[in-house]
Amino acid sequence: MILCVVASFPIGGLKPYFCLGLLIGTLISILNVCLMTLITEISVQKENKFLPALGLLLRVIIYAAAFLVTLLYFGFEGGLGTAIGFLTVYVAIIYINAVDLRIAKKKAAKAQEAAVTGTVLNKPLPDSPKK
């Protein structure tokens, strides 16, 4: 709901068709990520090189059909909400990976510093010589 309110500010307030389009777009995006994962697993297990291309075509058809249906039934507001909803899952994936990458880099830097100085949390390691 917070996403609906924040995303609807540029179009002039909370619109029901926009929120419905956002919900539909997000659900279709989740479905497509699950479909992509399933197709990738099957193609790796069966060593099929044609299946990923077919899966991509299927996912694009699903995106296009969902966008056109919401655009036809709910108008411009619903279509815009659907298009933004398509991006929500991917933005979340990118954000989570970026934050996890930063955290992992900080932990690696601290571990490297601890290995160089021989301390953990400013306490000497048991096997390191005392300074």
**In this structure, is residue 126 part of a structural domain?**
no
**In this structure, is residue 47 part of a structural domain?**
yes
Residues 70, 78 contacting (CB under 8 angstroms)? yes
**In this structure, is residue 120 part of a structural domain?**
no
Range of the domain at 55: 2-89
Of the candidates 11, 5, 2, the residue with the CA atom closest to the CA atom of residue 79: 11
Total domains, the chain: 1
**In this structure, is residue 122 part of a structural domain?**
no
Per DSSP, the residues of 25-93 read HHHHHHHHHHHHHHHHHHHHHHT-SSHHHHHHHHHHHHHHHHHHHHHHHHHHHHHHHHHHHHHHHHHHH
State residue 57's pLDDT score.
Answer: 92
State residue 9's pLDDT score.
Answer: 61
State residue 68's pLDDT score.
Answer: 93
**In this structure, is residue 34 part of a structural domain?**
yes
State residue 31's pLDDT score.
Answer: 92
Residues of the chain whose pLDDT is less than 50?
none
Taking the model in full, what pTM does it have? 0.66
State residue 29's pLDDT score.
Answer: 92
